[in-house]
Chains A and B, each alone.
Chain A
Amino acid sequence: MLEHLELFFKSIFIDNMVFATFLGMCSYLAVSKKVSTAVGLGAAVIFVLAITVPLNWLLDQYILQPGALSWMGPEYADYDLSFLSFIMFIATIATMVQLVEIVVEKFSPSLYNSLGIFLPLIAVNCAILGGSLFMQSREIETLGLATTYGVGSGIGWFLAILAIAAIREKIRYSNVPPALRGLGITFIITGLMAIGFMSFGGMLTGGDEETKEDTTVEVQVTPTDDNTELANNTKIEE
């Protein structure tokens, strides 16, 4: 349970998709003019991440990893399909996004209209593919943790777009230089927010300096006759 909680908060704050890894920026910048649309897109991202990360985890574990096919029989154990992971992950994501698009169009045409070109672009929202690829490269161990990671990253992204949308609504009443209005000031504010979010990294590394001395690892060596004999063999002919 504790590891779930840790991963959850870590993926929201420390590894925030937008502010720490700068993924999903395009839709983040383009759809953050109004809080209401931002909430819609944010929710869609949480939903898609929460589904695709565990799905791709299953794909990775049982099809793509080297040796993952061994459940089909020992003769398949040597197959390595990891070169397909990009395309498989993308196919899963694109299918899910298309599904979301169809559902949103059916139940909320107004949201569908306001999201416009950006709903299809969720598919290439790098945050989504990034989520799956991080899941793969960080070797998340269980399906449960993968789900937690997906939801956590989604919430992190949601939080980011919500925050910038709220700021953008307020900033309209401020006296921003004309040329910076809109996109320009959004870029700069995001940069400042990202600098702020970097301090969350301290949650992970804070106090590291003090404990460093303790991490010295004592390796226990029990010299036995056996070992000495082994060392004998290691001499090189010089």
Chain B
Amino acid sequence: MEKRTDKNSYTIIFAIGMVIIVGVILSGLFGWTKPMITANEEIEKQQNILYAMGVNNNDDTSAEFVASDKAEALFTENVKEQMVLFSKDGKIEKQMTRQEYMDANNGQEPYLIDVKKQQSNAKKGEARKLPLFIGQNKEGKTVYVAPIYGKGLWDAIWGYVAIDKDMVVQGAYFDHKGETPGLGANIKQRYFMDDFYGEHLLTSNGAFKGITVAKGNADPKNEDKTDNEVDAIAGATITGDGVSAMIKSDLKLYKPYFDNLKKQAN
């Protein structure tokens, strides 16, 4: 005896019904929440950039953003200038101020530039848009915040690094999509991010080297700031390598800008 639910026709009808119901629920929900999610994501980007600049609510050990309702105001206040560099073949072809960029791109703010998309565009031979946010940190020093993007063990990792005109790190924020909690996920912990403070991206003779997240405990208290190395997280080698790689590949592109800046100063 065949049950009603075993019939092929029933199966097909059920499947179609299920797809329609789930589809309607999900797309409806997505359409409804999309504006709120986008707004949240924009605020988060502002918070990230501010964090790298040193504008945050950190206490002794926690990594705390500025409150989300104040992010927008603080962002306008602290980020003195946003600009977009167009980089191709290791050179900077041209650059735009925030206003020029927004006029050319339907009012899109430079901080919303999708770094991942820019990376894949660059692979296709297009010029890569490099956003740069300029402001002052607490000591009154001018810092330049650049976004970076790469791959960890499981999924995407990204971050914002604040550097001064000599390409010395003044602050860093890292985040990840799905690194292992307790291991790779610790790249967004204070002790890891704070290690980058004061590290040099250049070697002593001025060539770009980046910062390597290094295993081995040669410098556990991170006192040597010119070794281009920070201490790795135990058990998170691949995530650490991802951080090194994205710092190297993305921040390298900004070097011509700082070279010019230096020439300018002399």
Question: Is residue A72 contacting chain B, with contact meaning CB distance below 8 A?
Answer: no
Q: Are B256 and A221 in contact, CB atoms less than 8 angstroms apart?
A: yes
Q: Which residues from B are CB-within-8-Å of A221? A: 91, 255-256, 259-260
Which of the 9-residue segments B42-50, B68-76, B205-213 touches chain A?
A: B205-213
A118 to B80, CA, bound (A): 60
With both beta carbons as reference points, the residue of chain A lying nearest to B255 in the complex is identified as: A219
Q: Are A232 and B90 in contact, CB atoms less than 8 angstroms apart?
A: no
Contact of A84 among B26, B81, B208, B210 (CB under 8 A): B26
Contact of A230 among B30, B90, B94, B210 (CB under 8 A): B94
With both beta carbons as reference points, the residue of chain A lying nearest to B80 in the complex is identified as: A236
Quick one: given A66-B117, A219-B255, A236-B134, are A230 and B92 in contact (CB under 8 Å)?
A: yes
Q: Which residues from B are CB-within-8-Å of A231? A: 257, 260-261, 263-264
Min CB–CB distance A207 → chain B (angstroms): 14
Q: Are A137 and B155 in contact, CB atoms less than 8 angstroms apart?
A: yes
Min CB–CB distance A127 → chain B (angstroms): 14
Contact of A223 among B203, B210, B263 (CB under 8 A): B263
Question: Is residue A234 contacting chain B, with contact meaning CB distance below 8 A?
Answer: yes
Contact of A234 among B151, B209, B261 (CB under 8 A): B261
Q: Are B208 and A87 in contact, CB atoms less than 8 angstroms apart?
A: no
Min CB–CB distance B214 → chain A (angstroms): 9
8 Å CB contacts to A: which residues of B34-63? none
Q: Are B257 and A217 in contact, CB atoms less than 8 angstroms apart?
A: no
Question: Is residue A218 contacting chain B, with contact meaning CB distance below 8 A?
Answer: yes
Question: Is residue B225 contacting chain A, with contact meaning CB distance below 8 A?
Answer: no
Q: Which residues from A are CB-within-8-Å of B207? A: 216-219
Question: Is residue A83 contacting chain B, with contact meaning CB distance below 8 A?
Answer: yes
Q: Are A216 and B208 in contact, CB atoms less than 8 angstroms apart?
A: yes
Question: Is residue A108 contacting chain B, with contact meaning CB distance below 8 A?
Answer: no
A158 to B8, CA, bound (A): 34
A163 to B85, CA, bound (A): 54
Contact of B260 among A212, A217, A228, A238 (CB under 8 A): A228
8 Å CB contacts to A: which residues of B192-214? 203, 207-210, 212
Contact of A220 among B91, B117, B151, B210 (CB under 8 A): B91
A107 to B83, CA, bound (A): 65
The 0/1 profile, CB within 8 Å of B marked 1, for residues 43-84 of chain A is 000000000000000000000001000000000000000011
Q: Are A230 and B208 in contact, CB atoms less than 8 angstroms apart?
A: no
A189 to B203, CA, bound (A): 46
Q: Return the 9 tightest CB-CB contacts between A and B, nearest first.
A: A231-B260, A137-B155, A219-B255, A231-B264, A221-B259, A216-B209, A221-B256, A236-B80, A227-B260
Instruction: List residues of chain B with CB under 8 Å of any chain A CB.
Output: 22, 26, 30, 80-81, 83, 90-92, 94-95, 97, 117, 120, 134, 142, 151, 153-156, 177, 203, 207-210, 212, 237, 241, 248, 252, 255-257, 259-261, 263-264
Other A-B pairs, 10, CB within 8 Å; known A219-B255, A223-B260, A238-B142: A137-B155, A139-B151, A216-B203, A217-B252, A218-B207, A219-B259, A223-B259, A223-B263, A232-B264, A236-B80
